[in-house]
Structure 1
């Protein structure tokens, strides 16, 4: 999916983007690519520049009701309740140097993920939404079922 398609899809949500104008986004991206030893796709770099570090909410949100943004898994997570087929998207990692930093997330999971897999967003319960930067596939990582030698194989 191209960045323009993603941008169109994101118009369906309320976006809480935390940006720091002091950050040189291009330099930050170069540093991340140098640290991981691989190039990020241009679409993902564009996403990070505009939406990195953001949290999404459904536009159906009112003062009384908060609607979480959820997604369906292709394979059911064994920890999900009967009849529950979605996971909560907590937020995307970004370029700021804070707890939502993409580089910090990559560093945190560097001993658990292969070098071509990076975390791109947090999901409920300590799980991660990841991207295979070799082919652009989006993956779900369940920390409860983590086996470093078998994950993502």
Structure 2
């Protein structure tokens, strides 16, 4: 059995989403961050504010790296687990990472892995990237660090969601 034999589960349910948000909430985020949230992500956020997808793992179609797993989708507003602490919400995570130059200002983080790395959408073209912070080096320039930390995943948010597979299926494949 090969990675390409693993297919997304048709159900792809989403669990533990936070309280629903509306277009006014998204407009507020756009105003705060001075950005325009790409349409596909915007539509998704209106249905799923944070939480976890059943299909939570991304397999690299080129086979250059092992799969990466979503630990959680980052809520836009409301976060029961952290008593609605704004520091854990998407607009504040983005502003903090941009302000500290840890993330390019065109990358909006929408999900995080268990190691503190981010799944991001490029607000200019809608492409999806995996952005690693655990590879940062004080010996490299900001540009070199950002280049080294950026891994292209796919061309759109909808493509990203549709190609996620369930980590449990990968664990079964590899006997984990």
TM-score using structure 2 length = 0.61
Distance 1:75 1:11 in 2: 23
Shift of 1:127: 0.8
Q: Encode CA deviations 1:103-147: one digit per residue, 9 max, x unaligned.
A: 132133122122211111011311111111101110111111136
SS of equivalent to 2:35: coil
Alignment of 1:25-36 (within 5 A): 25-36=22-33
Q: CA RMSD in A?
A: 2.5
Question: Which residue of the partner structure matches residue 36 of structure 2?
Answer: 39
Instruction: State the 4+ residue runs in structure 1 displaced beyond 6 angstroms.
Output: none
Question: Which residue of the partner structure matches residue 132 of structure 1?
Answer: 122
Question: Which residue of the partner structure matches residue 123 of structure 1?
Answer: 113
More contact order relative to length (CA 8 Å, sep ≥ 6): 2
Give unmatched runs, 5+ long, in structure 1: 1-8, 59-68, 78-84
Give unmatched runs, 5+ long, in structure 2: 1-7, 83-87, 151-176
Alpha carbons of structure 1 residues 11 and 27: separation in structure 2 relative to 1, 3 Å: farther
Question: Which residue of the partner structure matches residue 149 of structure 1?
Answer: 143
TM-score using structure 1 length = 0.69
For these two proteins, the number of residue pairs brought into alignment is 126
Alpha carbons of structure 1 residues 126 and 45: separation in structure 2 relative to 1, 3 Å: same
- Which structure has greater strand proportion? 1
Determine if the alignment matches structure 1 residue 94 to structure 2 residue 82.
Answer: no
Alignment of 1:15-94 (within 5 A): 15-20=14-19, 23=21, 25-58=22-55, 69-73=56-60, 76=64, 85-94=66-75
Tell me if the contact between 1:93 and 1:101 (Cα under 8 Å) persists in the aligned partners. yes
